């Protein structure tokens, strides 16, 4: 099977976020990593490759530093990749980025499956995978928690997660786009030999013009960014001060005598 995995680099959400002006986060204070959901997608793709053969191609859009995450996917076992590197794509919204990823996927030809995380931890939009499916005219399924591929390598049985612990079991055919939910597998850690091999794997660098991307930058976007800000909550917890021991003692006292819940 020829499987493409779309990988995004996101900030570590434990980072201390600072906002510059009202438009950007201060990236100098941020550690970046692979989007968790995409890591599950990489693992799911590798498991299918191990079963059916073929190749796993990583496609990622972003600045130079995203090569770190692409190489991480290589170290896990992915074969090669395309780095879509163009500030004019980075400035665009999900529509622009999806359009660029689609051009990269189309340049490969003969793709059976496109897999990516159900959403990115940073923009929490859950749009790119669905856009890519529509633009490729592939069928799709979101929130995938189980994948079975038939012996013909074309028929798929997919579990789509629903609310309250339910799964919808669907039958569909390749080519398809699957957006992967967390927990579908336990992503493997790269091994030392894997990391050594990853350094030598092929990573093609493509600009918007190389791929013939039509919609770029803010002009190509369908949405307009206004600003970002820290949420202002109407309610704040009563923060109990003191060291762990003192705070725990006060808390237990409050639970007993103030809230009367224990």
Residues 139-178 that bind another protein (CB under 8 A): 139-143, 145, 157-173
For residues 124 and 11, the answer to whether their CB atoms sit within 8 Å is: no
Q: Does 235 bind another protein (CB under 8 A)?
A: yes
Residues 11-70 that bind another protein (CB under 8 A): 11, 13-14, 16-17, 19, 25
**Minimal distance in Å, beta carbon 164 to another protein?**
8
Residues 112-131 that bind another protein (CB under 8 A): 118-119, 121-127, 130-131
Q: Which of 8, 10, 30 is closest to 20 using CA atoms?
A: 30
Could you tell me the sign of the dihedral formed by the alpha carbons of 9, 32, 190, 71, in that order? positive
Of 63 and 203, nearer to another protein (C-beta) is 63
> What tokens appear for 224 in the block?
């307009």
Mask: binding to another protein, 194-223, rule CB under 8 A, as x and -? Answer: ---------------------------xxx
Q: Which of 25, 13, 39, 57 is closest to 206 using CA atoms?
A: 57
**Minimal distance in Å, beta carbon 249 to another protein?**
5
**Minimal distance in Å, beta carbon 138 to another protein?**
9
**Minimal distance in Å, beta carbon 171 to another protein?**
5
Of 110 and 164, nearer to another protein (C-beta) is 164
Of 157 and 191, nearer to another protein (C-beta) is 157
Could you tell me the sign of the dihedral formed by the alpha carbons of 225, 229, 235, 240, in that order? positive
Q: Does 245 bind another protein (CB under 8 A)?
A: yes
Q: Does 90 bind another protein (CB under 8 A)?
A: no
Distance from the Cα of residue 215 to its chain's centroid: 22
Length of the chain, in residues: 262
> DSSP character for 176?
E
Residue 20 has phi, psi (to 5 degrees) of -100, 125
The residue count for binding another protein (CB under 8 A) is 81
Of 202 and 256, nearer to another protein (C-beta) is 256
> DSSP character for 164?
G
Who contacts 184 (Cβ-Cβ below 8 Å, separation ≥6)? 40, 43, 44, 144, 145, 146, 147
């Amino acid at each position: 099977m020829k499987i493409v995995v779309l990988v995004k680099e996101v900030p570590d959400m434990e980072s201390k976020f600072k906002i510059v002006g009202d438009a950007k986060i201060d990236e100098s204070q941020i550690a970046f990593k692979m989007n968790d959901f995409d890591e599950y997608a990489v693992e799911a793709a590798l498991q299918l490759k191990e079963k059916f053969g073929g190749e796993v191609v990583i496609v990622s859009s972003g600045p130079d530093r995203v090569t770190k995450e692409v190489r991480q996917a290589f170290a896990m076992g992915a074969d090669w990749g395309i780095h879509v590197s163009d500030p004019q794509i980075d400035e665009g919204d999900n529509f622009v980025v999806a359009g660029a990823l689609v051009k990269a996927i189309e340049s490969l030809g003969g793709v059976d499956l496109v897999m990516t995380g159900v959403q990115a931890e940073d923009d929490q939009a859950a749009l790119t995978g669905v856009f890519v499916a529509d633009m490729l005219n592939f069928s799709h399924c979101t929130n995938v928690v189980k994948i079975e591929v038939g012996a013909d390598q074309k028929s798929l049985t997919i579990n789509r997660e629903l609310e309250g612990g339910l799964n919808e079991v669907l039958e569909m055919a390749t080519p398809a786009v699957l957006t992967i939910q967390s927990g579908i597998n336990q992503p493997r850690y790269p091994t030392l030999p894997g990391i050594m091999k990853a350094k030598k794997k092929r990573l093609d660098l493509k600009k918007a013009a190389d791929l013939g991307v039509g919609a770029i930058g803010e002009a190509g976007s369908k949405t307009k960014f206004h600003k970002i800000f820290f949420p202002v909550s109407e309610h704040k917890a009563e923060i109990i001060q003191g060291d762990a021991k003192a705070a725990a003692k006060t808390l237990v006292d409050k639970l007993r005598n103030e809230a009367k819940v224990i």
